[in-house]
Structure formats: structure tokens, C-alpha cells
Amino acid sequence: MTDHKKQRPVPTSRLGRVGRLGVLAGKLAGNVVTSGAEQWLKGNRPQLKDLVLTPSNITRITDQLATMRGAAMKVGQLLSMDAGDFLPKELADILGKLRDDADAMPKAQLQEVLDSEWGNDWNDDLLYFSFAPVAAASIGQVHKAITLEGRMLAIKIQYPGIKKSIDSDVNNVATLIKLAGVVPKTLDTQSLLNEAKTQLHQEADYQREAKMLSAYAANLEGSEHFVVPSLAPELTTMNVLAMDFTNGVSIDALIDAPQETRNTLMTALMTLFFDELFAFKLLQSDPNLANYLYQPDTAKIVLLDFGATRVIPDEIAQGYQALLIAAYHNDHEAMKSAALAIGLILPSHTTEQIDAVVSIGMLACEAIRADASYDFGESDLVTRLHDCGMALTYELNFWHTPPADAIFIHRKLGGLFLLAKRLKAQVDMKYAAGAWLADTDQ
């Protein structure tokens, strides 16, 4: 549930959206000139990023992008995935806020969208529809409805103009980020930006998400740990996605659950990750905590939002299984071969760079070699990985952008690590991955 204090129309025309960014850039430039002049008069020589990322400018950037929604909110996501730990705190804060801080559409604009998608008399076919959203994010917002048959639904409604604005939004906001001078020039941002466009076009296709939802649900039919809402295809269009409204509370509610409950459910989530990668070949790649709900009465986790679901190619799945097996056996040469096959490293990289990447891979998989349950609550693994990543980047000048599938796989696993630590869960990772380690001793 979300309490939105603001309701602001979504700018729908391309020129309108570009104009908003132009006005924002003009205001930032004016502030940079004014602040820079003041600093020079004081005898200081400030860096550009220090002039751009002032508290007032950060507020302007966040406020404007939250108003625009869509790709304007999400463009920083892939950049932060690959370089988030190396960006200034101020910029990282902007990217973090924009993931969850969207404004809601006014009722009149919402009505226009539904009239266009369902016809002018759509309200006659529903027993109840709440115009107050229960959630609002970058691509759309969610409303509760009840059909004439009494079925309670969650209706995900896309903001108007989002599809047409994706490419220009990504390009314009990327320019704004570059203006701050905080993204390393050696980082291949173009491939990340291209992937951001592809990903956002997929997320904005609700018919595709409907197919992903149904396919994913089929893989988990009869699950003792997970619930996936059922699709309502008769109300689903390219811009409206209808599914069962599934009750649950924030995943944070598990923090107060018994240790055994936390361990069981986190083990199930880790097992699910390996199944996604190696069995389903279907990865729900967004680890946002809002995509998980917990049902205290059934002790199950509700899985939401399949817009970022990726089909995993066979060669990527095979590469990661080889990498997993290498980690299990602590076989550095086998991990090097797997990393080369996946594209995590290249033959052109130096021996020192390759050895460092392999060492980080071994470190990331240390839990798979543990003889007992791995205590994520007591572990400082995330901190150690961060420190090693910083050293690899800055001391060894390693600014390699891996394949997009690898980025999303790492992002999902990293999100699970953070959730396990948040819940102070103890997970037998060897058990969780057991089905994919069965042939390792043959």
C-alpha cells in the first residue's frame, strides 16, 4: 500500500517530456554558473560534480523525474547495477529514490486511459473500482477492482505516453547524468543504455508480461512456498494488466518471524533462483522488495511483477552451471573457463585482472562450499565483495561490461543476498543448489 501526497499528470508528448528535461538542465546550468562563480571568488576550484550535485539540484532532479515517470525514472537503474557502488552517494540516493517515489495520475487522466483501453462503459462491467491507487511506480500504478462475479483483481494501469518516450527519455536522462561528470568515461554506458531501452520496452508491453506471468505460474503450480497471482485475460490489454488481488504484508514482516520460518523461506527463495536459471530458463530479474509479499496465515511468499522477466539462453544457463560447479569444487581454472564462456572476462584482459575476477567469483560463492547452513545475518560477504570490486575497478582499471543476461542474474542474486542478510537467515546453500550439483562427483 502507498500513501501518495501528490497527484500530477504524466507528460505524454515527446516534446513535452524533452522540454521538461531542457528546463531542468537550464536550471542546473544556471546554478552551476552561480555556485561556481561564488566558489572561484572564495579562491576555491570546485569539481563539476560538486556544483551539479548540490542539495537543491538533487531535489530538482528527483522531483522532475518522479513527475515524468517511465524511463526518466528508470534509466539510472542499469547504470547503478553495474557502477552503483562506485557512484557518489548523492547520485546513488537519487537513483534509489526514483525506484519507489512516483506520483499518482489524477483521476481524469486515469479515466481517459481506461476509456481508451476498455471502452467508455467499462464501469458497468465491474462491481467496484477504486480510483485511489494501492501502488504507483515508474511504468504504471495499481488499483483494486471487483468483478460482477465477485473476483477481486489488481489492475495495473500504464501511464500514457510511456512507450513512445522510452528511447528519448533514456538518451536525455543519460545526458543529464553525464553532465554531472560522475560516470567513468571508461565504462561502456552505451551498451547498458541500449539494454535499458530493450528492457523498458519489454516492461511496457503488458501483453508480454501477461505471458511471462502465466509461464512462471505454470512452473510453480502446487508450490508449498510460493503464490503467483492468476491472470484475468479478458481485462488485459497492451496497457492494462489484470490479475488476482493477492493479500499479503511486506516481506519485512518476516523479520519478526521465528528463525526456522525465516530459514525455510529464504532457502526456498535461493532454491527458486537456481530453478529459474537452470530449469525454468525464466528469471524474474527485479529483486525489489516490493515484489515480495508474505502471507502469515499460509507462511507463503507472494511473487509479483513479471515485467522484468527474462528468458535465459541455454548457453548462459550452461555457463553458470559450470561456474557453480567450479565454485563448489574450488576449481579456479574451471571457473576461469566458465567466466570466459559467459563473457564475464575476455582473453584480452590481463592475467592479474582475470585472477581477480575469478577470486571474486569464488568469494561470492563461498556459501556453496560451507559444510553447514550459511549465516547471512552474521556474514560480511556483501562488504567484502564491495571492497574487492572497488579494488578491481580502481586498482586494476577493470571497467568491463558483461553480457546483459549476466548483469541481471548478478542483480537478482545480489538482491537475494541482501534480503537474506536483512532477515538474518541461515541457508544451506549446498542444499538449495543440490539438484544442479548432483553430477559433480562423477
Q: Where in the sequence numbering do the catalytic residues fall?
A: 286
Q: In the beta sheet, which residues pair with residue 311?
A: 282
Least Cα distance to 101 among 285, 240, 288, 252 occurs for: 288
DSSP readout, 343-382?
TSS-TTS-HHHHHHHHHHHHHHTGGGG-SS-EETTT--HH
Cell numbers representing residue 74 in the block: 528508470
Name the H helices within 104-231. Answer: 107-118, 162-179, 189-203, 206-219
Contacts of 291 (CB under 8 A, 6+ apart): 284, 303, 304, 305
DSSP readout, 35-99?
HHHHHHHTT----HHHHHS-HHHHHHHHHHHHHH-THHHHTHHHHHHHHGGGS-HHHHHHHHHHT
Least Cα distance to 152 among 241, 236, 233, 244 occurs for: 244
Q: In the beta sheet, which residues pair with residue 249?
A: 294
Radius of gyration for the chain, computed over Cα atoms and rounded to the nearest angstrom: 23
Least Cα distance to 110 among 101, 98, 122, 100 occurs for: 122
DSSP readout, 233-278?
GGG--SSEEEEE----EEGGGGGGS-HHHHHHHHHHHHHHHHHIII
Quickly tell me which residue has 561470492 as its cell. Answer: 364
Contacts of 433 (CB under 8 A, 6+ apart): 270, 271, 274, 324, 328, 368
